[in-house]
Amino acid sequence: MEKLHFNFDTTDAIKKPVHVGVVASGDLEVIFRPTDKQTEINIVTGSDGFHDVWENVLTRFFDRYPVKANIEINDFGSTPGVVNLRLTQALEALKDEK
Amino acid sequence: MVEIAPHDLLKIRTVQDLSSLQLPDWAEKVFSKSLTVVVRRAQIADDLIPVGIRGHERSQRLASWVSLDKVVKSITPYELVQNNAWLDLSNARKELPAVMTLEKIAPILSDFTWGISGSVGFELATKTPSAKMTSDLDLVWKPKQRINQKSAQQLLKTLNQFEVHADLQVIQGTDGFSLEEYANANSTTMVKTIKGPKLVTDPWEI
């Protein structure tokens, strides 16, 4: 098990928390919470040694969608494709609330 | 010829039958004992089946390919249930929480077409220690018809009354989605396909 931490400079604040994904092999759960600070991401993953892969996926995502949130991720061996899709799903859930 | 589907376990004769050039140390060690790979959810190209090698740790997964003609034997997650494969485990392995939960769940699913995947399925198919004290129970289910969200919630509640979390993946063809996600979904559900994951509003529609 490994804990990872990332920060991103972002602009678009969120108003409500959202929770997507499931606790299952090859999947992850993602929780976005409103914050006054910059975007902070805390990841707990069962797969060690993937810091750079996470950084790539997250950088690409937040470059495109500068969502300001406190983000918690619990990962159970998901692929980068699944991570990206779950982040997109969280974004959709945020839009639905507006 | 048998049809190969994601989660199937394929036995091959030798490490050389895999298309990976070189195996990492862990894979060399673990794989030589079981000589069994798991079919990944990806496209079959030129008779090359996408497979994965499992290690003991979650991070120990290696993607590879194997040619169909190198497959000695294939075991589906469903056969493990039909054969009550868990009865063959040693007494010590039967005491693993995931295996104890499996024995309790089996009668509940007696009318279902269901199978065992993940570390427990791998252990039952290969007779090599794979499940751990902390292992979840990964199950697959081929439903005859769709169920609504309320029924899905009830089914999951029944399955999850024991010590270990049971995860049920709904299988339609080569696609799969988590019953738990569907049960609690407000809008979209993720479906894993051989072309990658996608978000859909109705995962039963294929």
Judge whether residue B110 has pLDDT over 60.
Answer: yes
Whether B144 has its CB under 8 Å from any CB of chain A: the answer is no
Suggest the residue from A23, A25, A51 to mutate for an interface test with chain B (most B CBs closer than 10 A): A25
Structural domains of chain A sorted by starting position, each given as residue range(s) with its CATH number in brackets: 2-97 (3.30.230)
- Per CB-CB distance under 8 Å, the chain A contacts of B200 are none
Evaluate if residue B198 carries a pLDDT over 90: yes
Please, which residues have CB within 8 angstroms of residue B55's CB and are 6 or more apart in sequence? B26, B27, B30, B61, B62
Domain spans of chain B, in order of start: 9-75, 77-200
Q: Quote the tokens at residue A60.
A: 């690409």
Measured between CA atoms, how close is B7 to chain A, in angstroms? Answer: 12
B17 has a chain A CB within 8 A of its CB: no
What is the C-alpha to C-alpha distance for residues A31 and B58, in angstroms, rounded to an integer? 22
Contact A86/B188, CB-based, under 8 Å? Answer: no
Residues of B in contact with A92 (CB under 8 A): 187-188, 199
The pLDDT tens digits of the residues spanning A20-51 come to 999 888 899 999 999 999 999 999 998 888 99
pLDDT per position as a tens digit, B16-42: 898 876 788 888 888 888 999 999 999
Region B56-70 average pLDDT: 86
**pLDDT one-digit tens code per residue, B128-148:** 999 999 999 999 999 999 999
ipTM of the complex: 0.85
Q: Given this model, what pLDDT does residue B124 score?
A: 97
Q: Which of residues 147-206 of B touch A (CB under 8 A)?
A: 165, 167, 169, 178, 180-181, 186-188, 190, 192, 196-199
Q: Check pLDDT > 70 for residue A98.
A: no
The pLDDT of residue A97 is 60
> How distant is the Cα of B91 from the closest Cα of chain A, in angstroms?
26
- B174 near B194, Cβ under 8 Å? yes
Residue B1, pLDDT > 60, answer no
Is position B46 annotated as part of the catalytic site? no
As a whole number, the mean pLDDT across chain B is 93
